[in-house]
Amino acid sequence: MVGRFSGKVAIITGSSFGIGRETALLFAKEGAKVTVTGRNEERLQGTRQALLDSGIPETNFLIVPADITTSSGQDTLISKTLERFGKLDILVNNAGASIPDSQKRTGINQGIETYEQVMRLNVQSVIEMTQKVRPHLAKSKGDIVNVSSIVALNFGWARTPYYPLAKAALDQYTRSAAIDLIHEGIRVNTVNPGVVQTGFHESATGLSSDASQKFYDDMGSNPSAIPCGFSGRPEHIAKAIAFLAHRDSSEYIIGQNIIADGGTSLVLGLHAQFPRQTKN
């Protein structure tokens, strides 16, 4: 395959569904060899089929079932990628979630075990993966893109405080890692999505997929929530990730965040008091 990522090898975590799946598809369509990963076999098969349906040959992708929060899962992911493709150029740390409290507690009463699970997935696994791929990316002068969230920005999030805490920590880690690693030729950057139609809301709330779709539709039709008028789709985020992962497109961007949210972070709740603005 000839394309922007021709000759590149990428690991995309959390690529069994949602934003990660779309990113794997985009990278593969643009010539990359990709390692697809996640825990759920059925979802992994869904990504496999989507790749095949897009004309990507089996030789250009590898599927590695793994729990990214475990050391053995991380090691398997990296070693199998190297074994199959011989090198690594790009790591997209996309796996993440707002893990619900097991006892349905909300706000600051959420349990410490919830805090630990959320931090382990959204921050610690990124730190560990970054440490482990460092020698390989130093060799290839590679790129890391982390997937954060607009909840990391400077406002509160009362119901589930640990998820925004984790994503804010991830943003700060991106900046520190970026300065440390650029000396070895490795770039680190972040994409912060707003509301995107994936499995995220379903797994965060336990709602059905129909109820989650209604949430995405309602948010999209509320200009006080999403000024551009629709909830994001995974490809919107995949394109931003690809821009930051592609050296020629973004070579001089180091340790930065791209906010891809349809304008959500620009509007205040105060705007909900005013009727929708219409064109004259």
- Position among 8, 20, 92, 220 found at the interface with ligand NDP (CB under 6 A): 20
Is residue 126 involved in binding ligand NDP (CB under 6 A)? no
Residue type, 239: K
Q: Name the one range near ligand NDP by CB under 6 A: 66-74, 107-115, 207-215, 266-274.
A: 66-74
Q: How far is the CB of 94 from ligand NDP (least distance, A)?
A: 5
216 has catalytic annotation = no
Is residue 117 involved in binding ligand NDP (CB under 6 A)? no
Is residue 39 involved in binding ligand NDP (CB under 6 A)? yes
Beta strands in the chain (DSSP E): 9-12, 33-38, 61-65, 90-93, 143-147, 187-193, 257-260
Helix (H) or strand (E) run with residue 103 in it: none
- Give bridge partners of residue 147 from the DSSP assignment: 191
Is residue 78 involved in binding ligand NDP (CB under 6 A)? no
Output the CA–CA distances (angstroms, integers) from residue 252 to 4, 173, 268, in the order listed: 17, 19, 32
- Position among 11, 19, 90, 225 found at the interface with ligand NDP (CB under 6 A): 19
271-279 contacts at long range (C-beta below 8 A, 24 or more positions apart): 271/223, 271/224, 272/224, 274/224, 276/223, 277/223
Output the CA–CA distances (angstroms, integers) from residue 230 to 12, 180, 194, 198, 215, in the order listed: 26, 38, 11, 14, 11
* Residue in 162, 163, 173, 216 annotated catalytic: 162
Between 199 and 218, how does the x/- string for binding to ligand NDP read (CB under 6 A)?
xx--x---------------
Q: How far is the CB of 96 from ligand NDP (least distance, A)?
A: 2
CB-based contact 258:243 (threshold 8 Å): yes
- Give bridge partners of residue 63 from the DSSP assignment: 36
* Residue 212 vs 250, nearer CB to ligand NDP: 212
Q: Name the one range near ligand NDP by CB under 6 A: 38-46, 108-116, 135-143, 252-260.
A: 38-46
Q: How far is the CB of 164 from ligand NDP (least distance, A)?
A: 10
Residue 223 has which token pair? Answer: 């200009």
Is residue 16 involved in binding ligand NDP (CB under 6 A)? yes
Query: Any idea which residues carry the catalytic annotation?
Result: 162
